[in-house]
Amino acid sequence: MELKRITDWLTDITDYYHAQIQSVTLAIQCLTRITDSLTEITDSDLFVILVNKVILIFAVRKTTKQ
């Protein structure tokens, strides 16, 4: 009976850690997809984004002064 209880306990622990490993694996896959998509952004894309943000800041500042 004691052996059955120990076996069940070890099975529970194994199942728990297996679920945790699956969760971490899924998180790593998501981060990998994010990283891959970020590497597709070029320097010129970043420059265009920066210029657009600066234009937006000046436009908002100009409209709030009026």
pTM: 0.50
Domain that holds residue 7: 2-65
Tell whether the model's pLDDT for residue 39 goes beyond 80. no
Helix (H, G, I), strand (E, B) or coil at 66: coil
Helix (H, G, I), strand (E, B) or coil at 62: helix
Rounded (10°) CA dihedral 54, 57, 58, 63: 160
pLDDT band, very low/low/confident/very high, at 66 (cuts 50, 70, 90) = low
As for how many domains the chain has, the answer is 1
pLDDT, the chain, mean: 87
Over residues 26-55, mean pLDDT:
86
